[in-house]
Structure 1
Amino acid sequence: MIEIDIKFDNYTVMASSLLFTVLYILFSLCFVYPPKEFISAGLTVQSLLSTWLGSENERFIQYHMRRIVATILWHSVLPLGYVVGLYILDDSNHQAIFWQGGAVWQLFVFSAVVAPLVAAYLAWDWWRDHWKSHPVARTLAMFYNPDAGWISVASDINIEFRRVDKVCIETNPVVKIIATDNWIVKVAPYWLYVVHQSDAALILSSSDTHQVAPGSHREAQYLNIEVKSVRPGVKPFCIRLNAMDFRDFEDKVSCPITVLQNVTFHRTLLDRFLVAFQEQVAKNAVYVTTEELELCIGCMQTPANVKLQKYCDDLTVQGDSCTTCSCRPLWCLTCMGKWFASRQDQNHPETWMSSKATCPLCRSRFCMLDVSQVQPM
């Protein structure tokens, strides 16, 4: 019976340790990369140490210097917290937690104990001499004049950050991009990237597109912008933006953004829709005509090249069904696409492809299947 009880206790301890391990890993991941639930519950470094960090709006640079230190300290304690949790959980043999196991486990325990000590030493080394040794302070020191110090540069950035016309884009829960009148700043968990716009070269190097959800027609496009400074010693960095935020960022920065030739992207939701609209029209039936085509009455730049004619099998109720349009070709494909998009619910772009619009002239209803490209004979 004693042997059975011992085995049962061992299984219980193993199950408890496994459950604790899974829960602790999930908690650590959410603490390092907090989801909305953690942010709203205040389980972030910024919320837990808000009193010590101060106000980001009042002293932006000093706030993030402290935040970087606090983030490194808190994250360095997470492995030690796991070891201590196992120590408390297994009250039968405390020494086994530290000394039993393979070399990998012993190395992990040693690192868990040493990491907070190293982080504490870094924090003390950065704090002494009025934060002069902090990596952010050393970065700002590359921008100051001989008669001033890094604090004067920090003061300039703080003043510009307090202005209401700055652009602040959160690319994910732990990274955000800030563009002021003269500065571009990337806020990362352990670093603060800073570049003066007069020294910066911005290159849109690549883009990638992802589906919002599996099986969904909605897509999100992201742009990767390389930011380099001609000032010696300033680290280059990369900005990853949603294509929907690119226009706001581009309007705020004074330096031009170079787009490489092999990069294509849609600057707005309308641009994305026009591509889908043109792809669908290319699959529709072609309208062959012998009449001479005039310039599009919408833009007066491109020859009219689309005709509305009913091809769909629309069986909706009378008054909402597609009808035949008797107008001759007067619009180009781009202008017709813009007209179609303007007649849709702007709050629900996912319904645009399956919706209808009316002819700009005769008000005949049509869907995307009824738009034909004109082919002269």
Structure 2
Amino acid sequence: MFMQFLSKNVAIAAPNISYPFTIWDIILWIGIGSLSVIGSHTYLVWYGSGTWYGHPTILSLKQIIMESVSDLRSPSSTSTSLSNGAPNVAMKALISSINAEYQRSDKFVAGQGSLSTNWPGRRFVITDSWILASRFTEFKVVKQSSENMLAIVASAFSVLDPSSLTQGGQPDGESLGVQTIVTVRFIRTDTGVCLLSFGLPASNLDELRSKLRFPLIQSQGVHLEPTIIQRFIEAFTQVVDENQIVELPVNYDLEQCIGCMVQQANVTLNRQCESSLSSPSVVNNDQSLEGNQCGICYCRPLWCLECLARWFASRQTNNHRPPTEWLSGRVPCPTCRTYFCARDVSRLVVAQQQSD
């Protein structure tokens, strides 16, 4: 009885009810789906039938080979050999060279879907000879050249960095809550063409500059202020330069810094301060006087000065100390947890072998 009453009311309220889709709508959607599948299959078969010779990445690699071809072989013959489906020796050698440099640990990497990218999924790698940039549907290869290339910092802007905040919302890390992102453009000086543009944190510019074979300059109007950590590293370095130098035996083999794996270890912990004479007022509230005293570290040299300074600053931010008190603080050794201060850090010098 209720259903009969409901059906009558529905019929009166909406007498012209029709199906949401007509037969032509269904045919249209089936046609679009079929064309998409057929088009994708044709696209892949067209690329794969010629060893992907029509792919933009392969075309860019062919262009690199043609630009660096020797005088014994004309560019036209090189283009002909690369356009067929047969394996090409030059192409294989080029790909092997890129793979070999990419597998090295000293390459510069930015991206991986963090604040250093304009959107997730981008990756930017620089090796000794190559600049590699990947996006969702594109992989671009640029060969470094010291003759006709230039890198320009085109713009800079600041964003909130959630990764530098603790669970309690306190700023932590190098950026202390704010990250400066710069846009770097790689330009050919002979043509003025922008080969590549990428965004990365301003704190990575020094490492980027060390991997480039050409200059990295700032455009007019772009001013980059050093971060708090960078200013602390400069002050920390000045204090270390005033400390006593530790001389190592002849032919002492220094290891790579375990913090960056780029520079050699160049500092060691050598107690030089008199922490036992410190007053209790310099001790943190959550630490005892005994635990806050500088001790003797027996670890072998494992860190470079910059990485040790970053470790020193990170421990200060974890304790929520103001930056004005960082340089006078004490932190545990990264390896043995023995406390040390800036006066206990000494540069290393390997003794020279005296000739007869």
What TM-score comes out, normalization by structure 2 length? 0.48
The normalised TM-score by structure 1 is 0.46
* More helix by percentage: 1
